[in-house]
Every structure is written in C-alpha cells, then in structure tokens.
Amino acid sequence: MIQMRDLSLAGQRLLIREDLNVPLSNGKILDNTRLKAVTDTIAFAHESGATVMIMSHLGRPEEGGIEPLLSLRPIASALSILLKMPVNFAENWIEGFEAKAGSITLFENVRFLKGEQSNDEGLAKKMASLCDIFVNDAFATAHRAHASTHGVAKYASVACSGPLLTAEITALNKALENPKRPLVAIVGGAKVSTKLEIIQSLLEKVDSLIIGGGIANTCLKASGKNIGASLCENDMIKTAEKIIKDTETNIPLPVDVVCGKKFAENEVGVRKKTCEVSPDDMILDLGEESLQQIEKIILSAGTILWNGPLGVFEFPNFAQGTKKLAQAIAKSEAFSIAGGGDTLSAITSFNVGDEISYISTGGGAFLEFVEGKTLPAIAMLESRS
C-alpha cells in the first residue's frame, strides 16, 4: 500500500476516512479511545501543510435520513479539544466542498448518505472528486466494502494507507505471522456464533485458548455440564464439541463459575463448581480457581491476543474475571494485543491501557483479520499501490 507518511502532502486536499464511531449517550461521548487514536494522523497531515477533510460513520442510522442523535457535530468539538486546534464541521458536503487551505473539517455522518453501505459507484466518485489524496485510516471498518472505505479508494487520484491503519496491520502481523511462543488467545463475550468461527481458525495458530462469557457456557454445555439458564447458543453446540476435542491446543474449560439468578446490576454472585450449577442459575463470570489457571497461562505467554470479556464485567459482582484477566495481561511480559468494543471498555474500566502492548480499534475487522480473511478496504488500497 502507498503510505500517507511517504507522500508530499503540502497544499494537497486530503480526504481521510477515520473510524470515529464512539459510544454516545444523548450526544455525550462515553469513551474517546477511538478519537485519541486518530489525533496523530490528523496532526501529521495538518502540520505537513495539507487541507484536511475527515469522514466517518457513527452508529447505524437509516440511510438517506438524518438522525440528529447520530450527528458527528459533537465529535468535531471533541477532536478540536484533543488536537488543540479548530476542527470545522460540515453538514452538507457531498455535492461539493470548498475547504479553506490548511483547515481541518469533519464531514457529517457518511451513513446519512444513500448508497454508502451498498458501495454506490456514483457516491464513491463524488467522494473521490473532493480530494487529491484519499487516506484510509479506519481499520475498524476495513472489513466492509462501503463507498467511504472501498469505492472512494478506487476512484481517488491517489489512495493510500494512513498511519493508524498501517500500525494496526503491523501489530496484528507481528502477533500472527511469527509470534513469540506460547501464543495465547482469549475469546469471551456474548456474540457466540460470530466468534466460534474465529476460534476454529485460531486453533491452527495458538498454543492455548482461553474461553469466557457465552462461549465458555456453550463449550461447558457441549462437554455435558449443566449450565442452567446461562447465555448459550444451542445451534453452536456441535461446533463447540469439535473445539473442545482439539487435542493440539490447550483449552482449559472453567472448573468454577460465579452464578446469579437474574441478569441484573445488583444481583449477588455465588461461586459454584461447574458440576453444581442448578437449572435456574445463570453463569455470569468465571470463578477463582478457573482464574488462577488462566493467570498462570497468561504469565508464561510470549504473545497474547484478547477479544471479549470473561464475564458480565459491567456488573460489579461479575467483574472479577475480566478484571483479573486484564491485570494478568498487564503484568505479563508478553506482546499483547486487545481489540473489540467491549474489550476496550473493560481496559478503560480496569485502567490497564498503558500496560497492553497494542490496543486495536477494530472489533469485527480485528476478528476477521485474525481469522486470516482478506479485508476489502485493505485489498483495494493494495490494488492502488
């Protein structure tokens, strides 16, 4: 891929696709990790003398309409504070935009535009006509062929990779191509069906696989344990059976868990051996003994890949598993990479961000890259090199 840092940017109109899809509540930004991650790219482009235009999506609005709560306007102010320089906001931009030389402008949500998600050629051409150089810096959306990630790169005069996208790919390749062993992956969370596929491809690469959340529940059930009313995807049991039968990878099944009777914030957690779970129990976290096993594996790892919490870490009584895992990764000497929306919030809650070697901004893209899939937006940049 052509690299943004290798180009002469002075006087050029740069259109940068970032992923500014931050969690919002009534216009208030709940976590600004993704915004902090893009400031270096924007500052570099600005200091190099470029006129900077930024586009991103936010949430999942209905295409062709405008949802005020999913406007990027508050993000422009937040970026301006982080960058310590003015960031303008443009609501109407797609039909033509005259940016002041040397300015920085954030465009309104690309998903308000008809044709964005279907990668409409006409829309992609309009985007491409706004700039001299298109920069894709949005790893988190690289697994989607949308007009602002894929089509625009096809039609722009020059299409290149931004520093953040390049850093993400470099860090992931470091962990996947020639990792320091043992390579340990942790996969937790709730979206069982989307993650069992990644687990299958991880089994070919990793030495140990630690499972948590709904994935651990599904594997426990597949091993014949009673998991009561816990989160589990029954049509995934067959896949889970195959996974736990893998003899070449160390996959420790939880030996104890923390259960509640209700999925509620103030529910009290009761530690039980996995053979003691009753029909009305919900497994909401891993127990102390399982965590000790996990900590040992983490502390002897050479490389760690982490996606998904081990339990319902948002509820204080079920947060211990994810907290102890985060702390063990922080303590370990291994090269560690964490990715995925909820994993990032867990890292922020337990304040271990500085001790993790690389925090990927990608969720779905992170998983697909680890699976070895070709990400369409990256493939398009490669074809333009």
Q: Nearest 10 degrees: CA dihedral of 217, 200, 304, 31?
A: -70
Shorter beta-carbon distance to ligand AMP: residue 231 or 380: 231
Q: Could you say which residues in the range 132-161 bind ligand AMP, by CB under 6 A? A: none
Of 380, 370, 2, 22, nearest to 163 by C-alpha is 2
| Number of residue whose CB is nearest ligand AMP | 189
Q: Could you say which residues in the range 199-228 bind ligand AMP, by CB under 6 A? A: 213-214, 217
Alpha-carbon span 262 to 231, nearest angstrom: 12
What secondary structure does DSSP assign to 146-185, as a single string? -IIIIIHHHHSSEEEE-HHHHHHHHHHHHHHHSPPSSEEE
In the complex, least distance from residue 118 CB atom to ligand AMP, rounded to whole angstroms: 26
Phi, psi of 276 (to 5 degrees): -105, 0
In the complex, least distance from residue 54 CB atom to ligand AMP, rounded to whole angstroms: 27
Active-site option among 13, 17, 34, 323: 34
Q: Which of 61, 115, 179, 189 binds ligand AMP (CB under 6 A)?
A: 189
Lookup: tokens for 74: 């508050």
Of 224, 210, 162, 200, nearest to 5 by C-alpha is 162
Active-site option among 73, 114, 125, 191: 191
Contact flag: residue 362 with ligand AMP (CB under 6 A): no
Q: Could you say which residues in the range 265-304 bind ligand AMP, by CB under 6 A? A: 283-284
Of 206, 302, 303, 186, nearest to 246 by C-alpha is 206
341 is catalytic: yes
Give the helix/strand (H/E) hosting 16: strand 13-17
59 is catalytic: no
Contact flag: residue 190 with ligand AMP (CB under 6 A): yes
Are 308 and 187 within 8 A, CB to CB?
yes
65 is catalytic: no
Shorter beta-carbon distance to ligand AMP: residue 217 or 290: 217
Contact flag: residue 197 with ligand AMP (CB under 6 A): no
Alpha-carbon span 246 to 384, nearest angstrom: 41
* Amino acid in the structure at residue 198: I
Shorter beta-carbon distance to ligand AMP: residue 189 or 376: 189
Are 57 and 67 within 8 A, CB to CB?
no
In the complex, least distance from residue 313 CB atom to ligand AMP, rounded to whole angstroms: 6
Q: Which of 340, 362, 364, 376 binds ligand AMP (CB under 6 A)?
A: 340
Q: Could you say which residues in the range 300-329 bind ligand AMP, by CB under 6 A? A: 308-309, 311-312, 314
Active-site option among 311, 341, 362, 363: 341
180 is catalytic: no
Provide the binding-site residues for ligand AMP, judged by CB under 6 A.
Answer: 188-191, 213-214, 217, 231, 283-284, 308-309, 311-312, 314, 340, 342
Would you name the residues annotated as active-site residues? 34, 191, 341, 364
